[in-house]
Amino acid sequence: EADIYQTPRYLVIGTGKKITLECSQTMGHDKMYWYQQDPGMELHLIHYSYGVNSTEKGDLSSESTVSRIRTEHFPLTLESARPSHTSQYLCASSESAFTGELFFGEGSRLTVL
Amino acid sequence: QKEVEQNSGPLSVPEGAIASLNCTYSDRGSQSFFWYRQYSGKSPELIMFIYSNGDKEDGRFTAQLNKASQYVSLLIRDSQPSDSATYLCAVTKAAGNKLTFGGGTRVLVKP
């Protein structure tokens, strides 16, 4: 069982609020990822990190930002949430020697009113 | 054109039958190919990977890869109701550390 945790699992907030989605893993993985997935739709990579102080934007443009100050922690922040940000956000990690196996957290479902 | 394409389904199969899922990809430089399973409301989990042309079997699952035709498929033999899920095809490029996912095929196995 993968040891990767996301909080909050569910969040309902108003437009304009700042939110941070937390993601932590205890596997010592260097590589971490944020995916966005709408119900019944594909996963889109929005951010990734190959290690501390390394972050890159993914294939889908996102207004969110990320940081990687510690290996185990990869939070995602939205400075001013909008209804268009309503989605499921999935955090994942993988081993340093990339095998294609991603370990996913349980996800954070964000609803912006 | 999407990088990874799958028929969204649903693919309805009777219990005990073979479910056949297909995936095509656009980038000829794609090197590694993966099948993830995602139950409704849950996160994806890896079930198979394949790197070389041909077939790879793991239990009731068989992955097939044809790089010349740019497709990868997944066969599920003796389908069980517990196999009902969305199956996501994913690929990586050469020396890549990122997965690109298809939209998934929803499979329904009816008792």
Residue A1: the pLDDT is 57
Instruction: Indicate the range of A14-18, A22-26, B14-18, B28-32 predicted with least confidence.
Output: B28-32
pLDDT at position B53 over 80:
yes
Interval A81-109: pLDDT, tens: 999 999 999 999 998 777 788 999 999 99
Identify the residue whose tokens are 């479910």: B19
Using the beta-carbon criterion (under 8 Å), do A41 and B103 form an inter-chain contact? Answer: yes
Residue A95: the pLDDT is 84
pLDDT at position B96 over 70:
no
Residue A2: the pLDDT is 60
Minimum-distance CB partner of A107 among B43, B88, B96: B43
Give the angle subtended at the CA of B65 by the CAs of B104 and B111, to the nearest 5°: 50
Residue B20 confidence class, pLDDT cut points 50, 70, 90: very high
What tokens appear for B4 in the block? 């990874």
Within 10 Å of residue A40's Cβ, how many Cβ atoms? 11
On whether the CB atoms of residues B90 and B2 are closer than 8 A, the answer is no
Residues of B in contact with A101 (CB under 8 A): 34, 46, 49
Using the beta-carbon criterion (under 8 Å), do A43 and B34 form an inter-chain contact? Answer: no
Peptide bond before residue B10 is cis, with ω within 30 degrees of 0? yes
Residue of A nearest to B34 (CA): A100
What are the backbone dihedrals phi and psi of residue B83, each rounded to the nearest 5 degrees, phi first? -80, -5
Q: Measured between alpha carbons, how far is B48 from B63 in angstroms, rounded to an integer?
A: 7
Using the beta-carbon criterion (under 8 Å), do A100 and B88 form an inter-chain contact? Answer: no
DSSP, collapsed to helix, strand or coil, labels residue B97 as: coil
Identify the residue whose tokens are 């009816």: B110
DSSP, collapsed to helix, strand or coil, labels residue B82 as: helix
Using the beta-carbon criterion (under 8 Å), do B42 and A31 form an inter-chain contact? Answer: no
Residues of chain A with pLDDT > 70, as a percent, come to: 97
